[in-house]
Amino acid sequence: MSGPVALIYPYFRTKAPNQQLFPPLGIASLASQMKELGIEVRQHDCTFRAPGEVVAEVAALGAEIVGIYVMATLVRPALALLSAIREALPDAVTVAGGPMPTLHPERFAELFDAVFCGEADRSFPSFCKDLLDARDNGAEGTMGLTRYPGLCCRRDGTLIKNPVHALSGEECDALPLPDRGGVDLLPYHEFWMKKMGARMATLMTTRGCPHQCDFCSRPIFGNRFRKHSIGRVMEEVMDIARLGHDRIWIADDSFTLDLDHVRSFCDAMIGSGLGMRWSCLSRVDSIDADLVRLMSRAGCDKVYLGLESGSDETLRLMNKRATVEDGMKAVHLFHRGGIAVGAFFMVGYPGETVDSVESTFSLALSLPLDEISFNVPYPLPGSALFSRVQLLSPWDDWTVENDVRFLYRSEFDEEWLRRRISETLDEFAMRQASRAVTVTGK
C-alpha cells in the first residue's frame, strides 16, 4: 500500500489569555482507525509549532493524503497550510473535515480535493485505504465514491455529496482507542503543570446534545445523544493514565445529561482506585445533593456551568430551557458538596437590555463561584443566532480568541461592555483574594 497519510490540527498557539490547550482528540481517533487498517499515518499537531516547520515535516514525509481539521477559528491557518502543502506536494490528495467543511461542503470542495462531513469515523479511514490501494493499482479514477458516508467532492464537473452517517453507541464502542501518543505530549504536560500542577487529558464519554440553545452549533455530533459503555470509557481512562496524565477534562457537550451514565462513570472511577481528578461541563437542572456527593467521591473537583445570564428573559431569548433560579440552585449544590464551580456568562445578546446585562454582572458576583468568564455572543456557523445576525466579516474571517468583539452589527457599545467586564472581573478577583485570606486565617 502507498502512503503515508498526514493528519493536521492547524491551531498555532497564541498569547490569548486563559488558554486551554489539549492534544487534538479528533485526529488521534482517526489515526488509530487508520493504523487498524494498516495505513501508515502521522499526526501533525501545530499547537507548539511554526507553520513552516509543519509544512516541511509533511513534505519530508511525502504524504499522499493530507487531511486538515477546520473549525471556525482555524479557517485562515488551515487554508494557508493547504496552499503551502499544495506547492510542496502537488500530487497529494487534500481532504478537509470538521465543523466548517460540514457546514459549507460545496465551498470547501472547491478548495480541497475532498470533504468529509459530520462524523468521519470509519468512512474517512476506509476512503484513505481504498484510495491508496487504487493508486498502487493505477485505478484511482475508477473508484466508486458513493459508498463513503459524508463524502463531498467534485468529479468530472459533477458534485458528489453523500449522506452523513452518525455512529450508534455500539459503533462508537467498536472504534479503537484514540492514538493519544501520536503527538508530543510533553509540551502539554509542561503547560498544565505550570497552570494547575497536573497533567490534563481530554476524554469524551458521549456524543451529541438534544437541546437547541440559540447560540449553539453541533455540526459534527448533531442532536442525537449517544454514549459509550462504561467499560469502553474506563479503557480510555486507563490509557490516559498510562501516558502520564493525572487529570481529565471530560469534553462532552453536557456530561450530566444522562444521570445514570454519570452515576455509572462515578462508580467505575471509584472502583478503579486511580484517584484521578476530573472536571466537566454540567447542566444546571436535574442535579441533586446525592449526585454531587458521588461525583466528588469519584474525583470530580470542578464543574463548569453555562449560566449565561442573570435575566430569565434573556435566557428565553437564548432558548436555554433553564431559569436563573435553576442556575443558582446548581451552583449552591456543587459548592456545598465541595466541588469548585466555574461559570460562563454571555452579555450583549441580541434583544437584551442594559439592565439585563447589569443583572448578569450582579449574579456573577453574588454566587459562590470559583471562576467566571464573560464573552459577547459568538454567532457560530450553523447556529440559529448565526442565521439572524448581519455579520461584519466574511465567512472565513474567524480569528477572534477570548476577545470582546462583535462579529455582527450590535446595539451594544463594545467599549462599555469591555469596561464593565473588566470592572466585574476585578471585583470578583478582590472578593476571591479576601475569601482566601479569610480561609487561611481560620
Q: Do 272 and 234 share a structural domain?
A: yes
Q: Is 397 a residue whose pLDDT tops 60?
A: no
Of the candidates 217, 260, 188, 223, the residue with the CA atom closest to the CA atom of residue 22: 188
DSSP assignment of 320-337, as one string? ----HHHHHHHHHHHHHT
Do 305 and 390 share a domain, yes or no? yes
Buried/exposed code over 411-441 (b: 16+ C-beta within 10 A; e: otherwise)? ebeeeebeebbeebeeebeeeeeeeeeeeee
**Between residues 396 and 15, the one the model is more confident about:** 15
pLDDT category, 137, cuts 50, 70, 90?
Answer: confident
pLDDT over 70 (residue 403): no
- pLDDT band for 160, please (50, 70, 90 cuts): very high
Residue recorded with cell 437541546: 211
Per-residue pLDDT band for 254 (boundaries 50, 70, 90) equals confident
> In which band, very low, low, confident or very high, does the pLDDT at 140 lie, cut at 50, 70 and 90?
confident
Each residue's pLDDT tens digit, 306-315: 999 999 999 9
Confidence of residue 438 (pLDDT cuts 50, 70, 90): low
Reference 261, options 232, 224, 301, 223; nearest CA is 232
Instruction: For residue 111, name the pLDDT band (cuts at 50, 70, 90).
Output: very high
Residue 394's pLDDT band, with cuts at 50, 70 and 90, is very low
Q: Which amino acid is at 171?
A: E
Mean pLDDT of the chain: 92
Same domain membership, residue 144 and residue 231? no
pLDDT of residue 278: 98
For the segment 121-135, the average pLDDT, to the nearest whole number, is 96
| pLDDT of 393 above 60 | no
Q: Are residues 124 and 26 in the same domain?
A: yes
Could you tell me if residue 173 is inside a domain? no
- Note whether 335 and 389 are same-domain residues: yes
The mean per-residue pLDDT over the stretch 391-401 comes to: 54
What is the Cα–Cα distance from 378 to 367, expressed in whole angstroms? 25
Which pLDDT tens digit goes with each residue over 409-431? Answer: 889 999 999 999 999 999 999 99
Is residue 175 in some structural domain? no
Q: Are 13 and 47 in contact (CB under 8 A)?
A: yes
Give the end of a domain, one of 161, 194, 214: 161
Q: Tell me if 88 is assigned to some domain.
A: yes
Residues 44 and 112 in one domain: yes
Which three three-digit cell numbers place residue 137? 493499482
Q: What is the pLDDT of residue 143?
A: 86
Q: Is residue 212 part of a domain?
A: yes
Pair 317, 419 in one domain: yes
pLDDT in tens, 172-198: 999 999 999 999 999 999 999 999 999
Stretch 257-284: mean pLDDT? 96
Residue 120 C-alpha cell reads as 468521519
Whether 375 shows a pLDDT value over 80: the answer reads yes
Q: Say which residue, 435 or 155, is predicted with more confidence.
A: 155
Number of domains in the chain: 2
Position 442 scores a pLDDT of 52
227 and 87, same structural domain?
Answer: no
* Residues whose CB is less than 8 angstroms from the CB of residue 189 and which lie 6 or more positions away in sequence, other chains included: 199, 244, 245
Distance CA 367, CA 360 (A): 11
Segment 74-100, tens digit of pLDDT:
999 999 999 999 999 999 999 999 999
Q: Quick one: 198 and 157 in the same domain?
A: no
pLDDT at residue 264 tops 80: yes
Decide if 97 is inside a domain.
Answer: yes
For residues 75 and 102, the answer to whether their CB atoms sit within 8 Å is no
Last residue of a domain, one of 126, 161, 196: 161
- 155 lies in the same domain as 214: no
Q: Are 317 and 351 in contact (CB under 8 A)?
A: yes
Beta strands 158-161; 151-155: pairing state: antiparallel
Domain identity same for 57 and 144: yes
The percent of residues in the chain predicted with pLDDT above 70, rounded, is 95
CATH number (domain holding residue 45): 3.40.50.280
**282-296: pLDDT as tens digits:** 999 889 999 999 999
What CATH code is carried by the domain that includes residue 281?
A: 3.20.20.70
In this structure, the answer to whether residues 156 and 280 fall within a common structural domain is: no
In the numeric block, which cell numbers belong to residue 402?
477570548
For residue 370, is it within any domain? yes
Q: What is the pLDDT of residue 387?
A: 85
Structural domain ending residue among the three candidates 111, 145, 161: 161
Max CA distance (Å), the chain: 77
CA–CA dist 335, 341 (Å, integer): 7
- Mean pLDDT calculated for residue range 214-236: 91
- Whether 167 maps to a domain, the answer reads no
Query: Residue 440 has what pLDDT?
Result: 58
Q: Do the Cβ atoms of 382 and 406 come closer than 8 Å?
A: no
Give me the mean pLDDT over the 313-326 stretch. 96
**Residue 22 domain-assigned (yes or no):** yes
Q: What pLDDT sits at residue 396?
A: 43
Burial 293-318 (b: 16+ CB within 10 A, else e): bbbeebbbebbbbbbbbbbbebbebb
Q: In the numeric block, which cell numbers belong to residue 240?
A: 490516559
Domain that holds residue 436: 185-441
